[in-house]
Amino acid sequence: MWKNKLFETAKDCVLIEKAPLSDYTTFRVGGPAEILAKPQTEEALCSLLDWVKSEAVPFLLIGNGSNLLVRDGGFDGLVIHIGNALGDVRMEGNCLIAQAGALLSKVATVAADNSLAGMAFAHGIPGSLGGAVYMNAGAYGGEMSQIIEWVRVWTPDGVKKWNVDEMGFGYRHSRLMEENAVVLAACLKLQVGEREAIRSQMKELMQQRKSKQPLEYPSAGSFFKRPQGHFAGALIENAGLKGFTIGGAQISEKHAGFLINHNHATAADVLNVMRAVQEKVFEETGVQMENEVRIVGKDQ
């Protein structure tokens, strides 16, 4: 049984059976993980990934869980949580090097403290560095591909360092989505700036977020991808779906691009709202809305 082997072999990992994944996603919904593992060092993470590969164990990798919807039945297999234990951020020469578990807000703050500009756009993105690299996260005209110099990754063939031009970055995309590779750390290329000006820009962008986005409710951020030639929020609003609710899930009345956990929603509620939006928008415009949020796990 792979679970017994895991408890025998996993070193420097916290292992939790039946951990509720609602505690590990910003949506605050989702059933339990069969086992949740929290590697405490980069070496422990690599060893665990090597073991998962050799044993062919079904696994899910999560960081801050900010672009993720876990179904109500949870995940059958091993969930590997890359969290604060792998959240180191440090200066190395003129480079800012951050581990995969570092929150983007922390990375942006360290950059500002060191008078480095170029990271302000990411300050309010509620994700970790690993997840942001994986999906080339962006906001306010900036995206991760613009500030990455190299990424250290675990691959089935060993740990490698990929330069930015080897990452296959596109809109909300990287080669990591097609390959069995995991972000361990990244080096960010930033520019020397004026500390207070950088902090002022970060504050201004955060105020914009608070005024336009429903940050007071659990969500996974922008739920749908931006359709070519359109804006997801505008399509949803024009379809008369602002405030549309099923169970505890709702299309935000503040920003129609956000599907929020308005009142103790289940994952089924969220998925039902998603499908209703897709059907209505397609019926009215012929545009097929695709979810940007990853959907994993099984139904209850």
Count of domains observed in the chain: 3
Residue 172 designated active-site: yes
Task: Let me know whether 200 and 273 are in one domain.
Answer: no
Nearest residue to 179 (alpha-carbon basis) of 146, 151, 139, 137: 151
Domain boundary among 34, 49, 84: 84
Is 148:137 a contact under the CB 8 Å cutoff?
no
Domain boundary among 40, 69, 84: 84
Task: Let me know whether 96 and 78 are in one domain.
Answer: no
Q: Which of 22, 128, 145, 222 is catalytic?
A: 222
Task: Let me know whether 255 and 283 are in one domain.
Answer: yes
CA dist 116 and 288 (Å) reads 40
Instruction: Specify the pTM.
Output: 0.92
CA dist 106 and 210 (Å) reads 18
For residue 59, give the H/E element and its range: strand 59-62
Whose structure tokens read 């250290």? 152
Q: Which of 28, 172, 209, 294 is catalytic?
A: 172
Residue 222 designated active-site: yes
> One digit per residue, pLDDT tens: the chain, 300 residues?
899 999 998 999 999 999 999 999 999 999 999 999 999 999 999 999 999 999 999 999 999 998 899 999 999 999 999 999 999 999 987 689 999 999 999 999 999 999 999 999 998 888 899 999 999 988 888 999 999 999 999 999 999 999 999 999 998 889 999 998 999 999 999 999 999 999 999 999 999 989 999 999 999 989 999 898 999 999 999 999 999 999 999 999 999 999 999 999 999 999 999 999 999 999 999 999 999 899 999 998
Q: What is the per-residue pLDDT across 76-91, written as a single tens digit (0 to 9) for each?
A: 999 999 999 999 999 9
- Residue 10 belongs to domain spanning: 2-84
CATH number, domain with residue 184? 3.30.465.10
End-to-end CA distance of the chain: 24
Q: What is the per-residue pLDDT across 216-255, written as a single tens digit (0 to 9) for each?
A: 999 998 999 989 899 999 999 999 999 999 999 999 999 9
Eight-state DSSP code of residue 86: G
CATH number, domain with residue 258? 3.90.78.10
Task: Let me know whether 222 and 292 are in one domain.
Answer: yes
Task: Let me know whether 177 and 202 are in one domain.
Answer: yes
